[in-house]
Amino acid sequence: MIIKLKANDELGMYRNYIHFLHPILKVTPQEQDVLANLMLRYNKLKKDVKKIEYVNKLLFSTDNRKAISESMDMSVIRYDGILSKLRSMGLVKDRTLVSKIVPNIKKGSIEVCVKIDEG
């Protein structure tokens, strides 16, 4: 089965992906936006930086924190609060975005594999 969701831009693709996973992730709209921004920047950094620890170091740098909060018209304090919530959910560990939740975009789309087991 293929479920098609349209997005206006790359960030919208990540938002749709997170919204699709909402029953599992249970994040608020603002948390969805922060997580989508983190995923987008993670994948952009990963294109140029091969070591994941450096990707996360850059992702959680002060400059990136400020850039994300400004792009969302959000205070850095609110952004930090949302990061704390994402940490409590296990989506962010210390200063590392859990890579298992970050989708890869191939040819302008995100594919999600769902496996449902009995018992």
Burial string for 73-94 (b: 16+ CB within 10 Å, else e) reads: ebeeeebeebbebbeeeebbee
d(CA 46, CA 52): 7
Residue 1 has pLDDT above 80, yes or no: no
Q: What are 18-57's pLDDT values in tens digits? A: 999 988 889 999 999 999 999 999 999 999 998 989 999 9
Q: What are 62-104's pLDDT values in tens digits? A: 999 999 999 999 999 999 999 999 999 999 998 999 988 999 8
Residue 3 has pLDDT above 80, yes or no: no
Supply the pLDDT for residue 11: 92
